[in-house]
Structure 1
Amino acid sequence: MSGDQLRWLFFGFSGRLSRMAYFLAGLLLAVFQAFALYRFTLAPQESGASQIWAVLFWAIFFLSVWSNVALGVKRLHDFGKPGVFAVLLFIPVVSILAFLVFCFYPGDKGPNAYGQRTNAPR
Structure 2
Amino acid sequence: MSQQQPSQLVWLFFRSSGRLSRAAYFLGGLLVAIVQAFPLYRFTLVPEGTPESETWAMVFFLAFVASLWSNIALAIKRLHDLGRPGMMALVLFVPVISIIAFLALCLFPGDPGPNRYGARTNAPG
If the TM-score is normalised by the length of the shorter chain, which range does it land in?
over 0.9
Unaligned runs of 5+ in 1: none
The answer to whether 1:78 aligns with 2:81 is: yes
User: Residue 85 of structure 2 aligns to which amino acid in structure 1?
Assistant: P
Report % sequence identity: 60
- TM-superposed CA distance for 1:116, in Å, is 0.6
- TM-superposed CA distance for 1:94, in Å, is 1.3
For residues 57-96 of structure 1, give each alpha carbon's deviation from its aligned partner in whole angstroms, at most 9, with x where no partner exists.
0110111110100000000000101101111111011110
TM-score (norm 1): 0.97
Q: Partner of 1:25 in structure 2?
A: 28
Supply the RMSD in Å over aligned alpha carbons: 0.9
Unaligned runs of 5+ in 2: none
User: Residue 34 of structure 1 aligns to which amino acid in structure 2?
Assistant: A
Which structure 1 residue ranges, 4+ long, deviate > 6 Å from structure 2?
none
TM-score (norm 2): 0.95
Q: Partner of 1:9 in structure 2?
A: 12
- Distance (whole Å) between structure 2 residues aligned to residue 19 and residue 63 of structure 1: 21
Alignment of structure 1 residues 102-113 onto 2, 5 Å: 102-113=105-116
- TM-superposed CA distance for 1:33, in Å, is 1.3
Q: How many residues align?
A: 122
For residues 81-117 of structure 1, give each alpha carbon's deviation from its aligned partner in whole angstroms, at most 9, with x where no partner exists.
1101111111011110110011111000010000011
